[in-house]
Amino acid sequence: MTRENGNITPAAPEQPATSRFFDFAAATQRVLDSFPRLKSDTVFLNLETPGKVYGHWKARLAAAVSAHALDRQAAQSTAEDSSFAFQPQGILGLRSLVYKPDDNFVETLSVTAARAQAQAFAYHHELGHLVVKDAHGAMPKGKPYPENAADGFATLMHLQENKHDILLPLVNSWARAYRFVASGVPVHMTSTSIEAIVADHVAAEKDIPARGADMAKAAADYAETFAPDDETIDNARYIYGRFRGRGELFPIGEGTQKKLTAFAQTALATEDRFAFQVGLSVFRPLLHPAGVEINGTTIRLDEPLRQEMAQKFEAKAAAFGLQSLITEWQENVDSLCRKAADPRAPTRAGPAKPLKLAIG
């Protein structure tokens, strides 16, 4: 739908720039088919096609009288460089999903993953805030349930659509854990939910639920079970307190490898299960033989140290009853690098260059 002088006209097809990466209009139609309840009170905006509003005609009609509110939401999304899911304000208010296809979340993930995957993941994260029960607000009762629910929903959608490709969710888990340690801010500490979903998927212990209410319910269950409570978060912040703040693990620079090695020793020394899992999520990329490149800085452990660290993390994970996902990380990294390599080049056991990651 286009708003022109207060009149409503049908929306034109998406621009080629969008469909080349992620077909917002098609994805939105699939959402409305999977979640019929969104037809009456939810609209979808793509900032790459400004002035258009997507959704069921009833919701688009209601949006015509809320044009100023939608404009404010679009402006907030642009200013904060982030997609957003907005809950209704007032009795007659609308829900809205404002999608920014080049926001910081997408740009960070697409350093590693295919851009289409990163954009789909960001879209489904915001959708999770709208369709998973109580997945809104910051930290109700001191628990980052809403973001765990949203990341859990996006992870389930990704695995349903991409089957054996688990690298993007694990990259997101790494980034969530890294930012938590470096900042101490727990709102987006979602790694435990993501890792549980991926571990179940790898072990084939649970089928990915069908789209719709079943998937939303599964995301809620994972978030309720695996989102850490405030006491658990406080313990981990205390354990990793020396690595918090600008100049420690962020920004990435010459001394980061040494600091991350010290961080790993702290993780291996703790008897706190959650803190250890956070440490494993942060350090896992360094356990690959080729190392990792973070924000343009290459970090590669000497081989004896890498093998020692990998063995210790595996043993500690087993002792805590956690699946480490170290092997799956390496296999997915190797697969991605082989796909990106020149097919005419000789086959290698592993990637010639380290995997690229980004953190902001």
- If asked whether residues 38 and 55 sit together in one domain, one would say yes
Q: Which two tokens stand for residue 40?
A: 């009456």
Choosing from 100, 126, 141, the residue where a domain stops is 100
Q: Given this model, what pLDDT does residue 339 score?
A: 81
Q: Which two tokens stand for residue 359?
A: 């953190």
- If asked whether residues 150 and 259 sit together in one domain, one would say yes
Choosing from 55, 75, 100, the residue where a domain stops is 100
Give the residue-averaged pLDDT of 127-152.
Answer: 95
Neighbouring-strand partners of residue 91? none
Phi-psi region of 164 (alpha: psi -120 to 50; beta: other; left: phi over 0): alpha
* Residue range 171-211, pLDDT digits in tens: 999 999 999 999 999 999 999 999 999 999 999 877 788 88
Q: Given this model, what pLDDT does residue 6 score?
A: 38
* Residue range 271-313, pLDDT digits in tens: 999 999 999 999 999 999 999 999 999 999 999 999 999 999 9
Q: Which two tokens stand for residue 156?
A: 């389930």
- If asked whether residues 91 and 107 sit together in one domain, one would say no
Q: Given this model, what pLDDT does residue 209 score?
A: 86
- Among residues of the chain, what percentage have pLDDT more than 70? 90
Choosing from 100, 116, 151, the residue where a domain stops is 100
Q: Is it the case that residue 344 has pLDDT exceeding 80?
A: no
- If asked whether residues 206 and 342 sit together in one domain, one would say yes
- If asked whether residues 92 and 81 sit together in one domain, one would say yes
Residue where the block lists tokens 């405030």:
230
Please tell me the pTM assigned to this model. Answer: 0.91
Taking the C-alpha atoms of residue 177 and residue 136, their distance in angstroms, rounded to an integer, is: 20
- If asked whether residues 16 and 152 sit together in one domain, one would say no
- If asked whether residues 159 and 280 sit together in one domain, one would say yes
Q: Is it the case that residue 12 has pLDDT exceeding 50?
A: no
Number of domains comprising the chain = 2
Taking the C-alpha atoms of residue 173 and residue 157, their distance in angstroms, rounded to an integer, is: 15
Q: Given this model, what pLDDT does residue 137 score?
A: 87
| Structural domain range at position 26 | 1-100
Taking the C-alpha atoms of residue 279 and residue 188, their distance in angstroms, rounded to an integer, is: 16
Task: For residue 254, give the amino acid letter.
Answer: E
- If asked whether residues 94 and 108 sit together in one domain, one would say no
Q: Is it the case that residue 103 has pLDDT exceeding 90?
A: yes
Question: Is the separation of the CB atoms in 197 and 149 below 8 Å?
Answer: no
As a whole number, the mean pLDDT across the chain is: 90
342 or 74: which carries more pLDDT confidence? 74
Rounded-to-5 percentages of helix, strand, coil across the chain: 55, 10, 35
- If asked whether residues 216 and 127 sit together in one domain, one would say yes
Q: Given this model, what pLDDT does residue 42 score?
A: 96
* Residue range 56-100, pLDDT digits in tens: 998 998 888 878 889 999 999 999 999 999 998 766 679 999 999
What Rg value do the Cα atoms of the chain yield, rounded? Answer: 21
Give the residue-averaged pLDDT of 16-31.
Answer: 78
- If asked whether residues 154 and 272 sit together in one domain, one would say yes
Q: Given this model, what pLDDT does residue 90 score?
A: 63
3-state SS, one letter per residue, for 175-187: HHHHHHHHHCCCC
Q: Given this model, what pLDDT does residue 91 score?
A: 63
